[in-house]
Structure 1
């Protein structure tokens, strides 16, 4: 007998398509234009878990944390207009970090679209705005179109260079009902295979190099095994600034911090960039105001990147357009073939030079106090598979070069957007995605206050994140620059903060106050084992922190 399907709302059609694509978690803040989505989520709470938030920006960051820590899509829903704008910082952070994030939003009723009448939450050309902040965005015009467009969103989000996408649906359309033909999950195309000639050229450059160095980015996080194998074959050290941290651990013989890499860079003749924009040698080590379309210093560059546009932005001597994992594996096979019977470079000497550079830099970095000692205390307490999140504070900046990431994806940063305040809500998303692993986020007092309301979310949902808040009563970096570059004309950089311990208590969150790395080390183990969120306030005297910038922007 032919089974007659029931009509469903636009919101239900969207949620059913999410479930078909394996989504089990959604973050969001409901409103009138998205009620049908949230009602469908409530009806499907046995298959998909919804986490509310206190601010749209936090919803986006939580989805970003989910995606950044797993490589799986992070999904969130907020109202159109101001809700979308509030979440904009999270969208562009996801864009900068190549994180697969899906925004679901509403829009003004269909009859009002494009008429400028000032309907609730109307902004001019919302879809056009979204298209400029995401990899791809579209409008669902009919309830029946929801499965096709949700699947297209997943295809766009996960194919090629991953990134955020958005779908909008008019307020009235989302509430309408229709019979919808369900689809299975989206068909994600396999990455295009690397050109064998390009692989051969890249392998020849690397095999004949005297001192190659590998630099990794976010695009290589899923290729850790292949990167490690390449490093061992080539006797090449591996480094990263932010996104590629943990692919080869800093404590491993061939794992380098960016500061050690800078020490060894003068001897490097060939750079292999895998899934990275190569920010270190083209911006951090040469000046942020100087444009380079080739690697400076006459060094040869081999690139593996899934995005062909990257080969135009920064030209390579041997460009390989391919997924990092597949491209690196093809390169391994080519290098092994070319190395067969050929003399190898002196790996023992290379490793000895790396060890010596590490020791020398460690002695210098130890002077960045008290940040390094606080980071060491956290590193000693956090398991190797635990997540460490930076924030734009002095400890966060110092972590660029002083934190030893030991596993892929465990160092979660804000990327090149430098979005102040992203840290705490992002950490909540990381913990939701990884409930059995420990999560620590370091925040400055200024940045933490951007999302302080999410203490309520953490308490209500039992999200066991440890937030270490450094309280120096200032936007420390701004205040340092005003002191050193603008003759001490301080403006809008000093902060009158709340009592963070009482504030946490008001939210029902466990809190501790410390004033030294030793005191932090004493409270961290129990905090990491707590069943709910914990705030640790670190008292830092104003202007007492050493500048980390000589190691982030070393003199050319």
Structure 2
């Protein structure tokens, strides 16, 4: 007899899942029945939040949904912060949990791990939450989740299976149909192409939704001679291209470039304040003439635009190219390369004016890139990551991501980096975290060692929550609670069996990164 739990594993395999992150418990035993005999690798984190953060990093690095198994109640509430981060950053994630026996739900009897309404809780955070109450409901629930990942704006999906259902006999599984995203509306593409063809000083605003559309984005930017401004989640696109502006639209110099354009094409960006108004000064205004491309209809409705194209970024850009290839550019077009270069220079200079330490923080980030070309840099909320989000040109599409934008969860970096490393064995992965944030998820080092995840943990040790201390002082508040004592990271590395190095500048950091051949490894950057 095949159980519902075993059928779940078979369905995940059919949908291409090869890795699951989770901590088994008495409320998920039946979900694990089929794992041992499957081809799916199970990674055991040290906390359920780590499981979901690992699934997030795995998804961003691989382009496939990350999957986490957690127990009823506390297992799921432990993971919910990571689920919220994935929701904010449109990361495909499937969270499968148990739930108490069907007859007890909502009764308040006080069963182990009981919540008043577990599914209702998850419906507020995930894109959807489904309870599987019979064998016939399992495959439709799983298939719907993967169809959403492929055809709409991705994010976290939750499926819960009651304890009295997991072990019941399963029904025969049907062939899995791979859903495809809808084609862009031809009329909308024609309207967008007409406006783009008439623009004299266009600019492109690229967000995370464009991170896997580099080739058509590059071709369209060159066709339009348009500077391309990258939000944090789009960094790595068009590395060192004359038209790229790898700088935050929160910077005045970047806003001036956008304001000087006669048309803006926004591709896969939600215009979130953590990218466009991180200083909350209200200085960013939507361009007067705007064409938007986004796979999410609700997102498109949140801001006015002259033309809205509901589609996958790559498909829409390719459709625009097909039309624009036959159209001449207007005469008198200003040089997009010169506009981009002027903006880059001004943005970099602006960093020093914003904070005297920002250039040295950016120097550390660039040292990582140059020492390990093509690496993934997975960041936490720490000073050099904030600096990089303001201005940094990464050398790999999708290779720079962190939790310092959107939901902004501390402790994200270490487990997400582990997930990313497991998604691409042999790919250099650097976790850039602070001494304060690292302590949120420090035990996940053990999971990195256990799974042989090739991560170099670079710990920016400024002895506390220095960014918060600066913010307090800036508004005249006496700093309180911002100096949690860091551990001795050398002893921590020794305890977990990691190689260790201590550095005090970017040059030493680069040298230590190149020398860190045994991984995982730890490098402590001690900030003066």
* TM bucket normalised to smaller: over 0.9
Say whether the 8 Å CA contact 1:21–1:184 is kept in structure 2: no
2:307 equivalent to 1:307: no
Decide whether aligned partners of structure 1 residues 198 and 534 sit closer, same or farther in structure 2, where only a CA change above 3 A counts: same
What SS does the aligned partner of 1:115 have? coil
Say whether the 8 Å CA contact 1:137–1:153 is kept in structure 2: no
CA distance in 1, matches of 2:115, 2:192: 49
Deviation readout 1:453-483 (Å, 9 max, x if unpaired): 0011111111110111011111111111111
What SS does the aligned partner of 1:99 have? coil
2:33 equivalent to 1:39: yes
Say whether the 8 Å CA contact 1:459–1:507 is kept in structure 2: yes
Correspondence for 1:277: 270
- Picking from 208, 233, 255, the partner of 1:262 is 255
Q: CA offset at residue 274 of structure 1?
A: 0.7
CA distance in 1, matches of 2:114, 2:63: 33
CA distance in 2, matches of 1:289, 1:111: 53
2:499 equivalent to 1:510: yes
Q: CA offset at residue 186 of structure 1?
A: 3.9
What SS does the aligned partner of 1:169 have? strand
CA distance in 2, matches of 1:195, 1:158: 18
Say whether the 8 Å CA contact 2:381–2:410 is kept in structure 1: yes
After TM superposition, list the pairs within 5 Å mapping 1:29-428 onto structure 2: 29-44=23-38, 47-176=39-168, 178-188=169-179, 190-249=180-239, 251-259=240-248, 261-279=254-272, 283-284=276-277, 288=280, 296=285, 299-339=288-328, 343-346=330-333, 349-365=335-351, 368-383=358-373, 385-414=374-403, 415-428=405-418
TM-score (normalizing by structure 1): 0.89
What SS does the aligned partner of 2:152 have? coil
What SS does the aligned partner of 1:513 have? strand
Deviation readout 1:263-312 (Å, 9 max, x if unpaired): 52332221100111123799428x6375x9xx836621100111111222
CA distance in 2, matches of 1:425, 1:16: 26
After TM superposition, list the pairs within 5 Å mapping 1:435-514 onto structure 2: 435-487=425-477, 489-514=478-503
Say whether the 8 Å CA contact 1:241–1:280 is kept in structure 2: no
Deviation readout 1:507-539 (Å, 9 max, x if unpaired): 112211111222212211021x32x21111111
What SS does the aligned partner of 1:98 have? coil
Q: CA offset at residue 134 of structure 1?
A: 1.0
Deviation readout 1:378-401 (Å, 9 max, x if unpaired): 121121x31011211101100113
What SS does the aligned partner of 2:244 have? coil
Decide whether aligned partners of structure 1 residues 504 and 345 sit closer, same or farther in structure 2, where only a CA change above 3 A counts: farther
Q: CA offset at residue 364 of structure 1?
A: 4.5
CA distance in 1, matches of 2:170, 2:73: 29
Say whether the 8 Å CA contact 2:27–2:163 is kept in structure 1: yes
CA distance in 2, matches of 1:24, 1:297: 42
Say whether the 8 Å CA contact 2:272–2:406 is kept in structure 1: no
CA distance in 2, matches of 1:28, 1:378: 31
Decide whether aligned partners of structure 1 residues 43 and 345 sit closer, same or farther in structure 2, where only a CA change above 3 A counts: farther
What SS does the aligned partner of 1:416 have? coil
Decide whether aligned partners of structure 1 residues 494 and 263 sit closer, same or farther in structure 2, where only a CA change above 3 A counts: same
Q: CA offset at residue 363 of structure 1?
A: 4.3
Correspondence for 2:420: 430
CA distance in 2, matches of 1:505, 1:281: 37
TM-score (normalizing by structure 2): 0.94
CA distance in 1, matches of 2:486, 2:372: 28
CA distance in 2, matches of 1:156, 1:320: 19
Say whether the 8 Å CA contact 1:239–1:245 is kept in structure 2: no
Say whether the 8 Å CA contact 1:390–1:397 is kept in structure 2: no
CA distance in 2, matches of 1:280, 1:109: 43
Decide whether aligned partners of structure 1 residues 234 and 96 sit closer, same or farther in structure 2, where only a CA change above 3 A counts: same
CA distance in 2, matches of 1:358, 1:452: 37
Say whether the 8 Å CA contact 2:197–2:330 is kept in structure 1: no
Say whether the 8 Å CA contact 2:247–2:344 is kept in structure 1: no
What SS does the aligned partner of 2:212 have? helix
- Picking from 16, 25, 32, the partner of 2:19 is 25
Say whether the 8 Å CA contact 1:365–1:372 is kept in structure 2: no
Say whether the 8 Å CA contact 2:28–2:97 is kept in structure 1: yes
Decide whether aligned partners of structure 1 residues 236 and 280 sit closer, same or farther in structure 2, where only a CA change above 3 A counts: farther
What SS does the aligned partner of 2:159 have? strand
What SS does the aligned partner of 1:331 have? helix
CA distance in 1, matches of 2:488, 2:296: 47
Q: CA offset at residue 104 of structure 1?
A: 0.7
Say whether the 8 Å CA contact 1:152–1:186 is kept in structure 2: no
CA distance in 2, matches of 1:281, 1:42: 43
Q: CA offset at residue 416 of structure 1?
A: 0.6
